[in-house]
Amino acid sequence: MQFLSEEFVAEWAALERPLFGDLSALLVAKIDETPEGKVTISVEFAGGVIENAYVGSARGRDLELAMSYQLAAQLFRHEADPASEYMKGKLKMSGDMRLWLKLLPAWQARIDDAGPSELIAQTII
């Protein structure tokens, strides 16, 4: 399946993950320079889990992330650290800073503690 396609996003959202605390929020990620142009992914968190994710831009977002396709692929493959990329200006964030500071450590822990996603072998990047 193609990275960031509707099928990919549905499979990615269905993966089991550790809880993101008590996180309840709407996150929108805008990815530039994909083979299809700009792609927007919306992720709904409720009670610390991903409740829904889909291709498209949701209204009422709490947090928005912007990055290149290359960086999105590196983050997916656990080859990049979101905090480092944010500090370098390659991962841009707008919205609720408290939410970002809550999400970031959980994201980093997942990259550090979890092995590569089982989706990597099924995904064309």
Kind of pairing between the strands at 49-55 and 25-34: unpaired
DSSP 50-109: EEEEEESPPSS-SEEEEEEHHHHHHHHTT-S-HHHHHHHTSSEEEE-HHHHHHHHHHHHH
The residues pairing with 30 across neighbouring beta strands, listed in sequence order, are 40, 66
Range 92-119 burial, b when 16+ CB lie within 10 A, else e: ebebbeebbebbbeeeeeeeeeeeebeb
Kind of pairing between the strands at 92-95 and 49-55: unpaired
Domain positions in the chain: 6-122
CA dist list (Å): 35 to 49, 70, 101, 124: 29, 11, 31, 11
pLDDT band of residue 23 (cuts 50, 70, 90) is confident
**Mean pLDDT lowest for which of 5-9, 86-90, 118-122?**
118-122
Q: What is the model's pTM?
A: 0.90
* Interval 69-102: pLDDT, tens: 999 999 999 899 999 999 999 999 999 999 999 8
Among the CATH numbers 3.40.250.10, 3.40.50.10480, 3.40.50.12780, 3.30.1050.10, which is that of 6-122?
Answer: 3.30.1050.10
- Token pair 């320079």 in the structure block, residue: 33
